Amino acid sequence: MTRLQVVHTLDSHVAVIDGEVELFRYTYRPDSPVLESPKPYLHPIRTRSGHVVSLYRPHDHVWHKGIAWALPVVGDENFWGGPTYVHGQFYVQLPNNGEQRHEGRIELASDGDTVSIAHDLTWITESGAHLFDERRELTARALDDDAWVLTFMTALTNVTDAAVAIGSPTTRGRENAGYGGLFWRGPRSFTGGTLVAPGITGSGDDVRGQRHEWMGFAGRHDHVDATSLVLMVDSADNPHHPPQWFARSEEFAALNPAPFFSEEVVIDPGATTRFRYGVGISDADAGVAAGLASAVRAVLEQAARS
């Protein structure tokens, strides 16, 4: 029987341990500079056999950090990091890099089979304005000998007196660049890997912008003769489900179910909008993607009922 353990380093991060393997480290109080829009992130992320399937602060986009909930267009604010897309000017560095700030306590629960992490955050603009309160919950559990699943839930409450529109560079005029939301950046060795969705295998150029309930990325590791699969499932209750996907494979490995790809999500004053995702991590290749997606979906639906 799998017995997951949790280790909390106060005011820093939580690690979930599977035997001798640290499955992931969730840094909830990062030391990122303002330019990178400080936000909690998961890195390193590992398969059950210990292979790392995430990348932290790559030189091409230093604001990419493993798996993170990152939004490039929140009204006129940037909670993604780096420059902001301005139509007609391309990317411009503006004084608008906001912060997702951890507040209060980290709440942990573990029964051996699962580990749950919950905490509250405030979204503060670079100028100091308070836009959102957020409640975030993560749960990890083993699926089988080769795979485990992470569920990620966020509830964003608009605490301002005006509606806030969440979008993407595409909603601001850049074609097929609708990134934003739960974003995974994979290892360098995964570049050129295989993207897989229902009935489709291909590259990022093939699938970017398509709508699917789930999508996976299979990549090969350096140093070891192994392939791993990272797969994301969108909850049927999420806004704009099934989402358009922002995915890359040739430039670098990235996967992102993007609810704001080509249409904004508007949160009215005092309103709360929720998103829920399942992420499967497997010591396998693209051939098991459909089965892994079914298993992750079952866990996600169970989490939604609880």
Domains, the chain, in order of start with CATH, read 12-305 (2.70.98)
CB of 119 within 8 A of CB of 136?
yes
* Res 304: pLDDT: 83
Angle value at C-alpha 140, between 139 and 145, nearest 5 degrees: 160
Q: Which of 115, 107, 168, 89 shows the shortest CA–CA distance to 3?
A: 115
CB of 217 within 8 A of CB of 273?
no
Quote the CA–CA distance of 231 and 200 in Å, as a whole number. Answer: 14
* Res 139: pLDDT: 98
Rounded to whole angstroms, what are the CA distances from 81 to 59, 65, 94, 162, 180?
Answer: 13, 11, 10, 24, 11
Q: Which residues of the chain have pLDDT under 50?
A: none
Quote the CA–CA distance of 91 and 124 in Å, as a whole number. Answer: 22
* Res 306: pLDDT: 76
* Res 211: pLDDT: 98
* Res 175: pLDDT: 97
Q: Which of 39, 26, 182, 41 shows the shortest CA–CA distance to 106?
A: 26
* Res 1: pLDDT: 54
